[in-house]
Amino acid sequence: MEEKTNQFLGEEHISKLMQKYALPCIISLLVGALYNIVDQIFIANASYLGSYGNAANTVVFPLTVIALAIAVMIGDGCCAFVSLCLGRKQPDIAKKSVGNSVVMVIACGLVLCAIYLIFSNQIIAMFGGTVNEETLRNSKEYFFYITLGIPFYMFGQALNPIIRADGSPRFAMASTLAGAVINIIFDPIFIFTFRWGMMGAAAATVLGQIVTAALAIWYIMHMKLVKPANSDFKMDSGICRKTLILGVTSFLSQISLVAAMAAINNMIRKYGALDPIFGRKQYAQIPMAVVGIVMKFFQIVISIVVGMAAGCIPIVGFNMGAGKGKRVRELFTKLLIAEATVGALALIIVELLPQQLINIFGAANENACYTDFAIRAFRIYLCMIIFACVNKACFIFLQAMGKAVSSTVLSMIREIVFGVGFALLLPAFFGLDGVLYSMPLSDILTFIIAVYLITGTYKELNKKTPESA
């Protein structure tokens, strides 16, 4: 039954498959990104929160990314493994991977939630929450309530790619969309009507995450291709290892981003204190709030980019498992062109319309220093966003092909060696602007390495046994 139902992945036109799988994935990731972004928009436009609330949101954001990193390692790894198994006609192994992944994400969600609650003060300080007293107070409040939703958030995010691998990308999209709609509805009610502040923003987010998790639970009980039996939930170390190895790139790409954000936040705090304007106590939170907003726009773009690439994982995995190298090569070409196009459009927006972007995040409630720094941040920090988009596509495509080592090394070089290294080094020479220069420089150097890997991938696919597309 699995073979008949999934065989179209090796036969249908590549463009149609990309549209069918990538579009729902893009929407799912965009909607997932909206959780934090919508919070920040409403927080920014609440006069009693403003840049202090924005700075607090920036402090807590990396901590949700840690949860996401673990969730996508399990979910993306399972998605890639299941797709490879179905391509090799091994449905029983695929079912066990799904069952084991469900158990893993539940356990990890509960453990991470406990760690966050126990070490909350130290964690908030690590990510720059002590920039001033008001930012610290808002950070603690937001962090506590967001932490309570971590198990639900992780479960929903991990199950999303698994649902796509089961042949239901639209349901994966709908479950995430339902949660985001709940968040959008309750955010203004809790923040403006009830005036619950950061607690209200967090409560709306957690409600949405609970809805998404509930829909994922329903789907697990009604899976189509890979419906696990009770015995498949019994942990198998071999299956877990293979699943996690394929997902380690997704984990490292996210967790290394956390390391870069920690470095950036702390450099902002350190060199902002030396700035003649932002060194003043009442303005100290502005650079952190602004960089957080720029990162949110970048997250929107990257959600599209990652959505296109991650949506192709089942297609790549099935065709690699079935030995259809020609179809994989065609998919890679079309994906790279699409990713570069998205990057070019994003570049036009950040260079020509930075004022309009910052206005969305409450610039009207702030002073001219806030707006001037925000415009500069958008134009410098994201000036090489085309390369960033192509780099991300390369990470994920290599992962989908089963090239976990190459994908992981490239991701680590980008985020740890370059991302953290330049964020720590450049501010010593350029002050706050050095933080902004770290992003484009990292993307340029990573792109040079990515070109080498892309060329090697094409050569390898050209050597595959020819087959009809």
Asked if residue 172 has pLDDT above 70, the reply is: yes
pLDDT (0 to 100) of residue 318: 83
- When computed from its CA atoms, the radius of gyration of the chain, rounded to whole angstroms, is 22
Compute the average pLDDT of residues 325-351.
93
Residue 2 pLDDT: 39
pLDDT in tens, 17-57: 888 888 877 887 787 677 768 888 898 888 888 788 888 98
pLDDT at position 62 is 87
- Range in 123-132, 189-198, 421-430 the model is least confident about: 123-132
Task: Give the pLDDT mean for 59-88.
Answer: 89
Domain locations along the chain: 22-462
Whether pLDDT at 137 is above 50:
yes
User: Residue 281: which pLDDT band, with cuts at 50, 70 and 90?
Assistant: confident
Are 360 and 46 in contact by the 8 Å Cβ rule? The answer is no
- Work out the pLDDT band at 3, boundaries 50, 70, 90: very low
* pTM of the model as a whole: 0.78
In the predicted model, is pLDDT for residue 362 greater than 80?
A: no
pLDDT at 410 (0 to 100): 85
* pLDDT per position as a tens digit, 196-221: 999 999 999 999 999 999 999 999 99
pLDDT at 37: 80
Residue appearing with tokens 């603690």? 140
Residue 289: name the closest of 198, 374, 353 by CA. 374
Overall average pLDDT of the 320-340 stretch = 88
Mean pLDDT of 294-311: 87
Task: Read off the pLDDT of each residue in 367-392 and give the average, rounded to a whole number.
Answer: 93
* Burial of 230 per CB tally in 10 Å (0-12, 13-18, 19+): exposed
pLDDT in tens, 18-27: 888 888 778 8
